[in-house]
């Protein structure tokens, strides 16, 4: 086979795979969207969406999930960023250990996790499930643990992309303390990585069901599960809304990331 | 009392001694280079002065104050890194002003000082640009300005020119030296490039495997190397095995050819095995001017190197390189012919085996 016909064959197979995979994702999504438009009898429209947003349980569940997500992100950043920074700067040999720990949430099924947590925290001296609010705090802590694989990986990749050690030493030689170094030098240069980790965490928390359900929390996950049992078209509308939120989050990462990539790669010539 | 004193400093990592009993006194305003191959301990020594490494033993005094155990952000030393280390999220002006803002200087003062520094490095039009918009040479100049803005007591430069291309390296090293002289700042410059060290230093410390081989002016280091390592590392050198004939007269024999050396044989006895070394530019044809040593040499090869012509000659059984300045009227000998070559007594270095 000549070089040009081989290249053509590669191009064709690439296009075929692209189309096939696109259809694989788009057909179910399209079907869901179509189903969500059938809320009114014999007419395609946004009736299901209107009913969804008019539901008195939707907004409280949605807002609670948003607050949980923001709290999770802030707490996760506070724990993960200094840890990843210190591991990169002073304890590189510990990286495999830290990576292993952050991957544990992938290994433990959610149902096992939640029953273990309920068992541990439902009796003294660690009684944290006696009230709704204390359970909510516990839930956020669990979400922080669940966010570790994504947050640590994102921050670690961000730190590897900048010369952390030299930037730190340069700042120290100019008289900066650790706080100044972290907030004026390191964090601003991890913007994309932090945003990436934050938005992945957001997506996980918004859509999480099992743990919230067994901890009797009124978040978006249990609300969606309820909706599926009692409504026909509204669950599809909810699924599309959830997809839209996730795509918006990814779009923000991509937009911010492009700006940062442009700034790193453009170099003038002497 | 010297301005910067590094006294009996040793640094060990586990069982490995990377800097061994380093002693150096530097005067205020002096420009000292640490020169040596990779792994010789020059950067580690610099980092101990900066505070990024703590000596295993020994003391470092700066203007009379003991800074040995002080944190880097308490030493008031300015540092320039090979990778520039500019803060990517800050403009040129913000980078230069960073150290002043950390010290809580007033905004007026910061603005004035930043303007001074930007003018010093001739980047007035680039003050609002980000590092990614600058060339390597410009970035390193900003790095220099940032280090100088805080009025450091010592300026530390860790191979600042290594990442730059040859032409920029030459122009920037002159610029660095001119600025250092103008401001009268004490500086330590780490490099593995001997031309850099020779061209801009007041003194050079040649290091090898953690040990100071020799300290001296560029002239001393080049012309009077005290050890075989220094002789080999700085400049090019012809070397050959020889035997001492008469220690009092400085006579040595190489392949039956007698050489007279100005020094290096006093502490030896007849029959001692030594190495002799002669720099290529110290050999010349006897037809031009006869010096103390005159030897017959066959012409083996001639290479044009631009401004220099390198003639390979064979003296006894050993081949030597002889460098002479190129000029259009230069009469070169024929390859295979035998000529007389000459060098002074001082040109013959006698080194240990």
Domain with CATH 2.40.50.140 in chain B: 236-352
Same domain, A71 and A19: no
pLDDT for residue B56 is more than 90: yes
Q: Which of B87, B88, B134 faces A263 most closely, judged by CB atoms?
A: B88
What is the rounded CA–CA span in Å between residue B240 and residue A210? 82
A169 and A135 Cβ atoms separated by less than 8 Å:
no
A196 and A156 Cβ atoms separated by less than 8 Å:
no
Q: What is the pLDDT of residues B69-105, one digit of tens each?
A: 999 999 999 999 999 999 999 999 999 999 999 999 9
Same domain, A164 and A259: yes
pLDDT on residue A269: 38
Distance from CA of A190 to the nearest CA of B (A): 10
**Can you spell out the DSSP letters for A144-197?**
HHHHHHHHHHHHHHHHHHTTHHHHHHHHHHTT--HHHIIIIIIGGGGHHHHHHH
ipTM for the whole complex: 0.83
CB contact under 8 A, B102 and A172: no
Is B137 an 8 Å CB contact of chain A?
yes
What is the rounded CA–CA span in Å between residue A111 and residue A123? 19
CB contact under 8 A, B79 and A173: yes
As a whole number, mean pLDDT of residues B108-133 equals 94
Same domain, A129 and A155: yes
Cα end-to-end distance, chain A, whole Å: 46
Q: What is the pLDDT of residues B189-233, one digit of tens each?
A: 999 999 999 999 999 999 999 999 999 999 999 988 888 889 889
What is the number of structural domains in chain A?
A: 2
Q: What is the pLDDT of residues A196-234, one digit of tens each?
A: 899 889 888 988 889 998 888 889 888 888 888 888 888
**Could you tell me which residues come within 8 angstroms of residue B169 by beta carbon, excluding any fewer than 6 positions away?**
B161, B196
pLDDT on residue A257: 66
Q: Which strands, in side-by-side order, build the sheet including B308-315?
A: B284-285, B338-343, B293-304, B308-315, B318-325
Same domain, A10 and A90: no
Neighbours of A132 (CB within 10 A): 11
**Could you tell me which residues come within 8 angstroms of residue A16 by beta carbon, excluding any fewer than 6 positions away?**
none
In a domain, A42, yes or no: no
What is the rounded CA–CA span in Å between residue B26 and residue B180? 15
User: For chain A (length 270 residues), average pLDDT per consecutive 10?
Assistant: 76 89 91 87 84 87 90 93 91 92 88 89 85 90 93 91 92 95 91 88 88 88 86 87 81 70 44
pLDDT on residue A167: 95
CB contact under 8 A, B72 and A173: yes
What is the rounded CA–CA span in Å between residue A47 and residue A51? 6
Share of chain B above pLDDT 90, in %: 73
What is the rounded CA–CA span in Å between residue B194 and residue B36? 8
pLDDT on residue B110: 95
Same domain, A124 and A212: yes
A147 and A76 Cβ atoms separated by less than 8 Å:
yes
Provide the whole-model pTM.
Answer: 0.78
Same domain, A214 and A100: yes
- What dotted CATH number matches B236-352? 2.40.50.140
Same domain, A153 and A203: yes
Cβ-based contacts of A169 with chain B (< 8 Å): 50, 52, 72, 79, 81, 85
pLDDT on residue B96: 97
In a domain, A10, yes or no: yes
In a domain, A173, yes or no: yes
pLDDT for residue B165 is more than 90: no
In a domain, A270, yes or no: no
Question: What's the mean pLDDT when you consider all of chain B?
Answer: 92
Distance from CA of A205 to the nearest CA of B (A): 31
* Residue from B124, B119, B164, B116 nearest B140 by CA: B164
Please state, in angstroms and as integers, the Cα–Cα distance from residue B188 to each residue in A119, B211, B217, following that order.
63, 17, 14
Distance from CA of B304 to the nearest CA of A (A): 31
- Residue A94 has what DSSP assignment? G
pLDDT on residue A267: 40
**Could you tell me which residues come within 8 angstroms of residue A135 by beta carbon, excluding any fewer than 6 positions away?**
A128, A129, A215, A216, A217
Same domain, A125 and A209: yes
> Which residue in this structure is represented by tokens 């044989």?
B265
Same domain, A26 and A78: no
Range of the domain at A61: 47-265
Same domain, A234 and A120: yes
In a domain, A184, yes or no: yes
What is the rounded CA–CA span in Å between residue B133 and residue A263? 8
| CATH code of A182's domain | 1.10.3720.10
Q: Which of B79, B89, B156 faces A188 most closely, judged by CB atoms?
A: B89
- What dotted CATH number matches B4-232? 3.40.50.300
Q: What is the pLDDT of residues B268-310, one digit of tens each?
A: 888 888 888 899 999 999 887 888 899 999 999 999 988 899 9
A118 and A127 Cβ atoms separated by less than 8 Å:
no
- Tokens describing residue B201: 């230093």
Same domain, A102 and A226: yes
Please state, in angstroms and as integers, the Cα–Cα distance from residue B327 to each residue in A28, B287, B288, B289, B304, following that order.
82, 17, 15, 18, 11
Domain with CATH 3.40.50.300 in chain B: 4-232
Task: Say if residue A125 is preceded by a cis peptide, omega within 30 of 0.
Answer: yes
Same domain, A88 and A192: yes
pLDDT class of B353 with cuts at 50, 70, 90: low
> Which residue in this structure is represented by tokens 């085996």?
B353
* Residue B278 burial (C-beta neighbours within 10 Å; 0-12, 13-18, 19+): buried
pLDDT on residue A131: 86
Out of A126-130, B136-140, B217-221, B237-241, which region has the weakest mean confidence (pLDDT)? A126-130
Q: Which residue has the higher pLDDT, A116 or B156?
A: B156
pLDDT on residue A261: 52
Can you state the angle between helices A58-89 and A191-207, rounded to 10 degrees? 140
Neighbours of B61 (CB within 10 A): 17
Distance from CA of A9 to the nearest CA of B (A): 41
Distance from CA of B100 to the nearest CA of A (A): 8
Sheet strands (E) in chain B: 4-13, 16-26, 31-35, 57-62, 65-66, 77-80, 154-158, 186-191, 203-208, 211-216, 238-246, 251-254, 257-260, 273-278, 284-285, 293-304, 308-315, 318-325, 338-343, 349-352
Sign of CA dihedral A40, A44, A47, A48: positive
**Could you tell me which residues come within 8 angstroms of residue A261 by beta carbon, excluding any fewer than 6 positions away?**
none
What is the rounded CA–CA span in Å between residue B158 and residue B34? 10
Residue of B nearest to A165 (CA): B85
Mutate to test the interface with A, among B84, B85, B103 (most CBs of A within 10 A): B85
In a domain, A261, yes or no: yes
Residue B75 is inside which H or E element, if any?
none
Q: Which of B51, B83, B150 faces A174 most closely, judged by CB atoms?
A: B150
Residue of A nearest to B140 (CA): A270
* Residue from B200, B176, B205, B225 nearest B26 by CA: B205
CB contact under 8 A, B168 and A264: no
In a domain, A41, yes or no: no
């Amino acid at each position: 086979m000549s070089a040009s016909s081989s290249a053509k064959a590669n191009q064709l197979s690439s296009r075929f795979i692209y189309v096939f995979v696109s259809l694989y994702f788009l057909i179910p999504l399209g079907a869901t969207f179509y189903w969500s438009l059938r809320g009114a009898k014999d007419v395609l429209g946004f009736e299901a969406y209107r009913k969804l947003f008019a539901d008195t349980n939707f907004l409280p569940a949605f807002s609670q999930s948003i607050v949980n997500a923001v709290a999770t992100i802030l707490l996760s950043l506070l724990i993960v960023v200094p840890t990843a920074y210190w591991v990169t700067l002073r304890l590189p040999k510990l990286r495999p250990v830290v990576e292993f720990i952050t991957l544990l949430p992938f290994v433990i099924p959610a149902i096992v996790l939640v029953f273990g947590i309920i068992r541990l925290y439902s009796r003294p001296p660690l009684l944290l499930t006696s009230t709704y609010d204390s359970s909510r705090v516990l839930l956020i802590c669990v979400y922080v643990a669940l966010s570790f694989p994504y947050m640590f990986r994102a921050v670690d990749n961000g730190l590897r992309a900048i010369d952390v050690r030299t930037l730190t030493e340069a700042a120290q030689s100019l008289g900066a303390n650790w706080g100044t170094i972290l907030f004026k030098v390191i964090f601003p240069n991890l913007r994309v990585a932090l945003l990436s980790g934050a938005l992945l965490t957001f997506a996980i928390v918004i859509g999480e069901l099992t743990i919230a359900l067994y901890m009797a929390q009124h978040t978006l996950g249990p609300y969606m599960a309820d909706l599926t049992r009692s409504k026909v078209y509204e669950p599809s509308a909810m699924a599309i809304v959830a997809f839209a939120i996730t795509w918006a989050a990814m779009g923000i990462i991509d937009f911010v990331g492009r700006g940062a990539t442009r700034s790193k790669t453009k170099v003038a010539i002497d | 009392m010297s301005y910067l004193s590094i006294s009996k400093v040793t640094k060990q990592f586990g069982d490995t001694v990377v800097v061994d009993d380093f002693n150096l006194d530097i005067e205020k305003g002096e420009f000292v280079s640490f020169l040596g191959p990779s792994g010789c301990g020059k950067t580690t020594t610099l980092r101990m002065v900066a505070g990024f490494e703590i000596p295993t033993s020994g003391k470092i005094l700066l203007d009379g104050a003991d800074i040995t155990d002080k944190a880097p952000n308490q030493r008031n030393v300015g540092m320039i890194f090979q990778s520039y280390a500019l803060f990517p999220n800050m403009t040129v002006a913000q980078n230069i002003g960073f150290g002043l803002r950390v010290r809580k200087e007033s905004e007026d003062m910061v603005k004035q000082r930043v303007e001074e520094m930007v003018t010093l490095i001739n980047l007035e039009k680039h003050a609002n640009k980000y590092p990614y918009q600058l060339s390597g040479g410009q970035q390193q100049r900003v790095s220099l300005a940032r280090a100088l803005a805080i009025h450091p007591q010592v300026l530390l430069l860790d191979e600042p020119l290594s990442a730059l291309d040859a032409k920029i390296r030459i122009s920037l090293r002159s610029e660095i030296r001119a600025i250092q002289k103008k401001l009268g700042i004490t500086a330590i410059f780490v490099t593995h490039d001997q031309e850099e060290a020779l061209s801009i230093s007041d003194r050079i410390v040649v290091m090898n495997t953690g040990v100071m081989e020799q300290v001296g002016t560029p002239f001393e280091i080049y012309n009077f190397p005290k050890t075989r390592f220094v002789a080999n590392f700085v400049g090019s050198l012809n070397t050959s095995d020889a035997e001492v004939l008469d220690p009092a007269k400085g006579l040595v024999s190489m392949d039956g050819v007698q050489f007279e050396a100005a020094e290096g044989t006093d502490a030896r006895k007849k029959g001692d095995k030594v190495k002799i070394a002669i720099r290529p530019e110290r050999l010349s044809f006897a037809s031009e001017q006869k010096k103390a040593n005159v030897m017959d040499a066959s012409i083996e090869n001639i290479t044009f190197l631009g401004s220099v012509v390198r003639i390979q000659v064979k003296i006894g059984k050993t081949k030597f390189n002889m460098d002479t300045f190129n000029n259009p009227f230069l009469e070169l000998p024929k390859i295979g012919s035998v000529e007389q070559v000459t060098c002074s007594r001082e040109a013959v270095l006698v080194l240990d085996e």
